[in-house]
Structure 1
Amino acid sequence: MLLKDKVVIVTGIGPGMGAKMARDAALAGARVVMMSRSDFVMGDVLKDILATGGKAVSVLGDVTKPEDCARVAATAIEAFGTIDGLINSAYYHPPMVPLLDNDADDLRMAFDVIVGGALNMIRAVLPSFEAKGKGSVVNIGTMADRKPMAGEGGYVLAKGALASLTRQLALELGPKGVRVNMTTMGWLGGPATDMFFEWRAMTMGKTKEEAVAEAAARIALGKIPPDEECGRAALMLLSDYAVQVTGATLDVNGGEYMPA
């Protein structure tokens, strides 16, 4: 099994990819520790994992609060004795307006959650990584950092900073045996994307199916990538199959964006 007996923390357990990565990590043999500000989805994910014979715990907490992140790490140690991997999936998306129209508080919140939250979580798990001389972090990025899209400016500013954080910490933590990588996601087929295409169809005077087909036509694999399939790329980077991979950005977008 890809993650057999590894202890993996996943933040940002909402109705989309975060929850699916947690479920898939458990199916891949990991013992999963979930963190979210809400138990709305996380409680159901916990029940699903336990019902299928997996091992998991959930912790209500906010990644912008260092004390909450420390509590998540402590819970992982208490429940499972160690920590092997961390997926920083928590995010905040400012309103989809031109960047200069974004409120400063919304931009600050995006940075606090996406960048500050990742730093808080990495600081919290690092003692466990250092104690065993190895560990793996995967940060969830966005294709819009490389291929600008209207309305994504505030979100991209924070995700772009997360990309820089990934490379910097890969360099700094490498001597400790800690790998830090990023998956750069494109479209993530799921609840949020469904709502987006409904909105886009209304604004364009088209059907939702036409709006989806227009986007899919720009993707080499010809479809909107399902979020659960994209999330599995992050699990691969956590695994021992990627033991010599660090500081890398893996494009997970069905071939919509292909870097030179």
Structure 2
Amino acid sequence: MRFEDRVVIVTGAGKGIGKAISMAFAKEGAKVVLAGRTEPDILKVSEEIIGFGGKGLPVVCDVMQEQSIVDMVAKAYDEYKSVDVLVNNVGLRGPVLPVAKMDKQQWNETFAANITGTMLATREVLKYMIPNRKGAIISISSDFGKRGEADRSAYCCTKWAQVGFTQCLAREVSKYGIRANCVCPGTVAGDRIMTLVKAEAKRLNISEDEYYKMLVSETLIGRLVTADEIADAVLYLASDASSGINGQSINVCGGTVFN
């Protein structure tokens, strides 16, 4: 197994991409710390992992609260005496508003969750990775971190920020044997996207089917990417097989962006 006994922290581990990443690491032998704000969700993921013989430690954590992040990482280390991989997965959709009508509170909340939370979790795991002179940090950005999108400035800005943060981080910590990379998903198939489809179709005054087809038409593969495909990329970037990759942002978007 690629990650036998390695300790992996995944934020936003209770659903969607975070759950897929957590399950994939556990199946490869990792001890997975399931950090999430909604306790029933992370407990359910933990039960599934334990059910197939894996190791999953649920820890309630709100990445918008600094002390909550500090406590979560400390608990992970106290339990397993190491932190080998961090996956910054939390992503708040943020307001869907033009800049001319932007709400400052919603803007700030999006930054708090998507980029400040990323920084704080990274800061905390570095307390353990730097002395050990090894580690991998993977942040889940977005194809919106590679392009602008009308009415999505708050979300896009935070995802661009994650890409920039990752490049800065890689230059800072590579001397300690630590690598930092991003995965930039496109629109991901699943329950969450159907909630978005309903909201956006209503906002644009079109049918849900029309909006869904619009999303698919942006790809080159004729479908939306899956959470498991995102997880595959994350595990690759956390593995020794990607030892030559550092400071990069890998698109897993079906071809919506190329850079």
TM range (shorter): over 0.9
Separation in 2 of the partners of 1:244 and 1:133? 16
73-82 vs 52-61, which deviates more? 73-82
**Kept in 2: contact 1:64–1:120 (CA 8 A):** no
Separation in 2 of the partners of 1:110 and 1:209? 28
Shift of 1:174: 0.9
SS at match of 2:180: strand
The residue aligned with 1:122 is 122
The residue aligned with 1:182 is 182
The residue aligned with 1:109 is 109
Separation in 1 of the partners of 2:113 and 2:208? 31
Shift of 1:55: 0.5
Aligned-partner residue type, residue 172 of structure 1: E
Separation in 2 of the partners of 1:41 and 1:2? 26
SS at match of 1:119: helix
Aligned-partner residue type, residue 48 of structure 1: E
**Kept in 2: contact 1:36–1:59 (CA 8 A):** yes
SS at match of 2:77: helix
Separation in 1 of the partners of 2:30 and 2:19? 14
Q: Deviations over 1:132-182 (max 9, x none)?
A: 211010011111122322332111111111111110010011111111111
The residue aligned with 1:21 is 21
Q: How large is the Cα RMSD of the aligned pairs?
A: 1.7
**Kept in 2: contact 1:145–1:160 (CA 8 A):** yes
Aligned-partner residue type, residue 33 of structure 1: V
**Kept in 2: contact 1:2–1:236 (CA 8 A):** no
The residue aligned with 1:43 is 43
TM-score by length of structure 1 reads: 0.93
Shift of 1:258: 1.4
List gaps (5 residues or longer) in structure 1: none
The residue aligned with 1:77 is 77
Shift of 1:110: 1.4
1:166/1:206 CA distance change after superposition, 3 Å? same
List gaps (5 residues or longer) in structure 2: none
Aligned-partner residue type, residue 170 of structure 2: A
1:18/1:180 CA distance change after superposition, 3 Å? same
Shift of 1:107: 1.1
1:15/1:100 CA distance change after superposition, 3 Å? farther
**Kept in 2: contact 1:42–1:58 (CA 8 A):** yes
Separation in 2 of the partners of 1:136 and 1:94? 27
Q: Deviations over 1:113-142 (max 9, x none)?
A: 211111111111112112221101001111
% same residue = 26
119-128 vs 57-66, which deviates more? 57-66
Residues paired across the two proteins, number:
259
SS at match of 1:213: helix
1:135/1:196 CA distance change after superposition, 3 Å? same
Aligned-partner residue type, residue 153 of structure 1: S
Shift of 1:204: 5.2
1:146/1:106 CA distance change after superposition, 3 Å? same
Shift of 1:226: 1.4
**Kept in 2: contact 1:94–1:107 (CA 8 A):** yes
Aligned-partner residue type, residue 239 of structure 1: S
